[in-house]
Amino acid sequence: MVVCGLGRFGKSLALELMKADTEVLGIDASADAVQSVSGRLTHAVVADTTKEEAMRQLSVHEYSRAVVGIGSDIESSILTASVLVEMGIPNIWAKAISHSHARILTQIGVHHVTRPEHDMGARVAHLVRGRMMDYIEFEDGFAMVKTTPPAHIVGRRLSDSKVRQEYNVTVVAIKRPGEGFTYATAETIIRPGDTVIVSGLVRDTERFSEAS
């Protein structure tokens, strides 16, 4: 895996990949940034990621996955992504700091664009509005939510609660106080103090979490 840009985001990502036993080539134009990960990545090199010749000298074109972790310098981010696309890297991820930045990255051929600050803000917004304890949103408006169940389904089997018909969500798992999560079935009875994980469209999971 190649990580271009070893700022706060790129450095954190590269170190997490190393923890998962993934070999990482980290590249940054800043000697200080490279020095901060020296000995902690498989390879860490000072180079200009916007220059294709420099990237080819590092054999970046031989990698199958690359991440553009540059965020604040939009020009460098776009130029670096363009170099990776031109080299034919099969899987390219890039960090964007705005909607327009994300749109440009997508237009030039980046396969996966992420907006960490925006995504985290959206996640926290969901958490503070209701009984949600955790929230993960996937593509196409689909989400999984960890929450407490509405009072009116407590004491009832899931098959009798009509959760799917009323909220259009599926209860995937359930956690009793002091126990771990287990898969929910039609015969599962919701008890006081239970925590549930439900899946469905964002608006439906929100409605379930906000129900009393």
Q: Which domains does the chain have, with CATH numbers?
A: 2-114 (3.40.50.720), 119-210 (3.30.70.1450)
Q: Report the alpha-carbon distance of residue 2 to residue 61 in Å, rounded.
A: 10
Q: Report the alpha-carbon distance of residue 13 to residue 15 in Å, rounded.
A: 6
Tell me the pLDDT band of 71, cut-offs 50, 70 and 90: confident
Q: In what order do the strands lie in the sheet with 134-137?
A: 134-137, 142-147, 195-201, 170-175, 181-183
Reported as a single tens digit per residue, the pLDDT across 137-175 is 876 788 899 999 999 999 999 999 989 999 999 999 999
pTM to 2 decimals? 0.67
Q: What is the pLDDT of residue 170?
A: 94
Reported as a single tens digit per residue, the pLDDT across 5-37 is 999 899 999 999 999 999 999 999 999 999 999
Tell me the pLDDT band of 126, cut-offs 50, 70 and 90: low
Reported as a single tens digit per residue, the pLDDT across 178-190 is 999 999 999 999 9
Is the separation of the CB atoms in 167 and 211 below 8 Å?
Answer: yes
Tell me the pLDDT band of 4, cut-offs 50, 70 and 90: very high
